[in-house]
Amino acid sequence: MPDIVLEGVRMEFPGQGATGPAIALAEMDLAIHDREFVCLLGPSGCGKSTALNLIAGFLTASDGSVRVGGQEVAGPGPDRGVVFQDANIFPWLSVAKNVAFGPSLSRRRDRNAIRRQVDEMLDRVGLSQFANHLPLELSGGMRQRVGLARVLVNDPPTLLMDEPFGALDAQTRIIMQELLLELWERDRKTVLFVTHDIDEALLLGDRIIVMTARPGRIKSSFDVRLPRPRRYEITSTPEFVALRRRLFEELRHEAARADELEAVH
């Protein structure tokens, strides 16, 4: 059974002043299977974040149906972990306390169990030595590790990620992509990963869904049959290079249109 289903989803934002309503998504259909890693790829402004926020339950569609695990989405829920570009961690809590935040909301857990769970999570993301540090004392990459750990520690069956590594420098981004792959290999959650970066989509995804420029629709879907487990080295193989070229051709026109749309406004 598909885990995430969008049917005929339309999203209209009310216009401000003289501008009419902005149609972010028009008739979007999407089905993501259980434990599939899907990358949603498209130019800036095409509605990727809007789609993710609808699935997360932060937004409500103007029309159509958004279902997760067979249920119509009525708001955010613990079954969907969301990771944004800014790690949305609490600056006043230590790394360990940030990660413990979700589990400590659950009434059933005892403190020792939570501590063990947090320790294990920090170990998995390579932050054991920074458990007592405050977020301000960390690098951008480390903060994003905390953000990831904070979400993964709750073990949500579905992970929604919106350009989580977009603000990191190129090398740190690769290290974080490899970390995410390593974490995913172990639990194989359903992942919807939003990006405008072709290489990132190819390195991570089982499938890449390409969106058109605004108003966003699904343009095409590519299966990525590169072997797993994957590491950065795969990005220089002939298979990867050929896929990169195809995806660029697919996106070229949409990127140019997105650019024009931006110029008009």
Ligand X SMILES: Nc1ncnc2c1ncn2[C@@H]1O[C@H](COP(=O)(O)OP(=O)(O)O)[C@@H](O)[C@H]1O
* Of residues 24, 17, 20, 15, the one with CA closest to residue 62: 24
Residue 103 interacts with, from Mg ion, ligand X, none (CB under 5-8 Å by kind): none
Minimum distance from CB of 233 to ligand X (Å)? 30
* Of residues 87, 190, 205, 191, the one with CA closest to residue 147: 87
| Contacts for 221-228: CB closer than 8 Å, 24+ residues apart | 222/246, 222/247, 222/250, 226/202, 228/181, 228/185
Using CB under 5 A as the binding criterion, the count of chain residues that bind Mg ion stands at: 1
Contacting Mg ion within 48-87 (CB under 5 A): 49
> Cα–Cα–Cα angle for 221, 166, 233, nearest 5°?
70
Between residues 102 and 216, which has the closer beta carbon with respect to ligand X? 216
Residue type, 71: Q
Between residues 134 and 261, which has the closer beta carbon with respect to ligand X? 261
Minimum distance from CB of 34 to ligand X (Å)? 25
Between residues 51 and 168, which has the closer beta carbon with respect to ligand X? 51
Between residues 127 and 251, which has the closer beta carbon with respect to ligand X? 251
Q: Which three-class secondary structure state does DSSP give residue 57?
A: coil
Minimum distance from CB of 25 to ligand X (Å)? 8
What angle, 0 to 180 degrees and rounded to 10, lies between the N-to-C axes of helices 140-152 and 170-187? 20
Stretch that binds Mg ion, among 24-32, 44-52, 67-75, 113-121 (CB under 5 A): 44-52
Q: Is 117 in the site for Mg ion (CB under 5 A)?
A: no
- The residue ranges of DSSP E strands in 103-175, in sequence order, are 158-162
Q: Which three-class secondary structure state does DSSP give residue 51?
A: helix
Minimum distance from CB of 49 to Mg ion (Å)? 3
CA distance 136 to 144: 12
Between residues 98 and 195, which has the closer beta carbon with respect to ligand X? 195
Contact positions vs ligand X (CB under 6 A): 13, 22, 24, 42, 44-50, 214
The site for Mg ion (CB under 5 A) is made up of: 49
